[in-house]
Amino acid sequence: MRQVVDTMYFAEMLESHFEDVDKYINTFCFYIQHLLERASTENLIAFVEKMMKEFEIQAGRILIPTKIVTIFIAMIQGLFNLYKSSEGIHRCDPGQLQFLVSQIVSILKQQGYLSAFVDTLLEFDKSRRTSLYKEINNLSRLDANK
């Protein structure tokens, strides 16, 4: 898996998948998730901030809500997987997890993508048998339990 991620060139991939944006988005989501699950705290925060800033810049253009939301769901899943990781040093702090996820949800809400986010997230959980929607709603309890 590491080799696959290390050899991805997204500009070339986008050109090669021009006719199949879904395939590109899925590969990009895999890449994001894989990176976030193993990222250091500094890289994690820098990546999330960069993605959110890019989203704010691009929001004025015509964006497809479900495609954008899918990328942010992959980011949130990567954050949760890092939080659950047993790799001590790269483990995400519960307060930090709550802050980063709430920042992502907040910017989606601010840009008018909240309903698309909720719908896509419920569909994501159903199709992949995950419980991300429930985990996001339980975030406020994480800090109290640690």
Per-residue pLDDT of the chain (146 residues; tens, 9 = 90+): 444 444 555 556 556 655 677 777 787 788 888 778 777 778 888 888 888 888 887 766 666 778 888 889 988 998 888 888 766 555 677 888 899 999 999 988 988 889 999 999 999 999 989 899 999 988 866 554 44
* pTM (2 d.p.): 0.75
User: In angstroms, rounded to a whole number, what is the distance separating the alpha carbons of residues 142 and 83?
Assistant: 11
Of the candidates 83, 88, 68, the residue with the CA atom closest to the CA atom of residue 36: 83
The answer to whether the CB of 71 falls within 8 A of the CB of 28 is: yes
The string of pLDDT tens digits covering residues 38-62 is: 777 788 888 888 888 888 877 666 6
> In this structure, is the dihedral angle defined by the CA atoms of residues 40, 46, 52 and 55, taken in order, positive or negative?
negative
Token output for 129: 């048998």
